[in-house]
């Protein structure tokens, strides 16, 4: 089979797969249909700009605050602006450059049967099937992207490494499904809270749970 025939074969296989999958309503070939975590990613908090609600210098004693906080995971928490690894900021990475799944090929993809009529052959060669499986795996892969986020001086530590899901394009064939949060954890941080009482404004640090995305899956778009 020459190169032209191989290209035609690949196109017919992808087209055939897309038509088969389109028969179901939002049925993905990986059969992954997770329920996205509610409220993720978080909406930016609206803060009162009045500096009277800000913590003062004596309220920011690092030793005391670490004692109140307890577990301090430096992988996700930072008191100072972090010198991040390769990727920083809020701009999403290029999908194709970043999507490099590792490990063992998922059993759902290994089990796919690519039946297509091509000349006298009804099934693709093992090499062509393997290449198509690798392409499907990379295309549907939904990594978690981490960026450092400054929560402001009313949180301690104020810098949190926040997870997000790729959303530039669809992750399914045919298009329609997107990468969405599938699992999350909670980071414990401190929140400066002020309450107006009879004796005046009373402020103190309180422990709060900050949800963070830990897993993304290809799922139906809402």
Q: Can you give the pLDDT at residue 104?
A: 72
Average pLDDT over residues 181-208: 93
Alpha-carbon distance of 101 to 95, in angstroms, equals: 12
pLDDT per residue over 134-173, tens digit each?
A: 888 788 888 899 999 999 999 999 999 999 998 788 888 7
What is the pTM (predicted TM-score) of this model?
0.65
Given a cut of 60, is residue 2 above it in pLDDT? no
Q: What's the whole-number average pLDDT of the chain?
A: 75
Which are the contacts of 8, defined by CB distance < 8 A and separation ≥ 6?
118
- Per-residue buried b or exposed e for 185-207, using 16+ beta carbons within 10 Å of the residue's own CB: eebebbbbebeeeeeeeebebee
Mean pLDDT, residues 9-26 taken together: 43
**Two structure tokens written together for 83:** 């010198």
Report the DSSP pairing between strands 155-156 and 159-165.
unpaired
Report the pLDDT value the prediction gives residue 122, as an integer from 0 to 100. 63
Give the H/E segment covering residue 112: none
Helical axes 3-22 vs 126-140, angle rounded to 10°: 50
Whole-angstrom distance, CA of residue 140 vs CA of residue 177? 9
């Amino acid at each position: 089979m020459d190169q032209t025939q191989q290209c035609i074969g690949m196109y017919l296989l992808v087209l055939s797969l897309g038509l088969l999958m389109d028969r179901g309503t939002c049925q993905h070939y990986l059969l992954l249909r997770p329920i996205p975590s509610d409220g993720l990613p978080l909406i930016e908090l609206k803060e009162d700009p009045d500096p009277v609600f800000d913590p003062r210098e004596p309220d920011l004693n690092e030793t005391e605050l670490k004692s109140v906080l307890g577990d301090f995971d430096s992988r996700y928490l930072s008191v100072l602006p972090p010198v991040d690894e390769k990727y920083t900021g809020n701009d999403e990475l290029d999908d194709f450059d970043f999507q490099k799944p590792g490990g063992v090929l998922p059993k759902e993809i290994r089990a796919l049967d690519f039946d297509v009529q091509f000349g006298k052959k009804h099934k693709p060669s093992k090499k062509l099937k393997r290449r198509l499986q690798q392409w499907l795996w990379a295309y549907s892969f939904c990594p978690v992207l981490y960026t450092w986020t400054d929560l402001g001086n009313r949180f301690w530590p104020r810098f949190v490494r926040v997870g997000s899901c790729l959303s530039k394009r669809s992750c399914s064939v045919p298009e329609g499904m997107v990468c969405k949060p599938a699992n999350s954890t909670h980071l414990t941080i401190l929140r400066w809270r002020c309450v107006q009482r009879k004796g005046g404004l009373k402020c103190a640090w309180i422990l709060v749970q900050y949800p963070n995305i830990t897993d993304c899956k290809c799922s139906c778009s809402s």
